[in-house]
Structure 1
Amino acid sequence: MKDELDVEAELLPGPSGSYEVAVNGKVVIRKASLAFPTDYEVVDAVAKVLGR
């Protein structure tokens, strides 16, 4: 797992309980159930899109 991707991030308010991570406007991971994605899942999804 990569801990740092050297990218700028912005947290935007959304509807209650929503969770999406987008890279260049493309959603790469979202909250799929009652549980939130783990830190590892989020970083891994972003790293894959960035080719890292």
Structure 2
Amino acid sequence: MEGAGGIFDVVVNGDMIFSKHAVDRFPEHDEILGQLD
């Protein structure tokens, strides 16, 4: 998982579930796991 320019995207099964670029922050604790349920 390489990154550049501060981009942090989480993609699951081809679907982006979080983009730091879109919301200008890192995910909150459990935010990613909550979307996987």
TM-score (norm: length of structure 1): 0.53
Q: Answer 1 or 2: which has greater helix percent.
A: 2
Does structure 1 residue 18 correspond to structure 2 residue 18? no
Other-structure match for 1:37: 27
User: In the TM superposition, what is the alpha-carbon distance from 1:25 to its structure 2 partner?
Assistant: 1.6
4+ long deviations beyond 2 Å: none
The structure where strand makes up a greater share of residues is 2
Normalised by the size of structure 2, how large is the TM-score? Answer: 0.64
**How many positions carry a matched residue from both structures?**
35
Task: Name the % identity.
Answer: 29
- Structure with higher RCO (Cα < 8 A, 6+ apart): 1
The separation in 1 between residues aligned to 2:2 and 2:15, in whole angstroms, is 17
Q: Distance in 1 between matches of 2:19 and 2:31?
A: 10
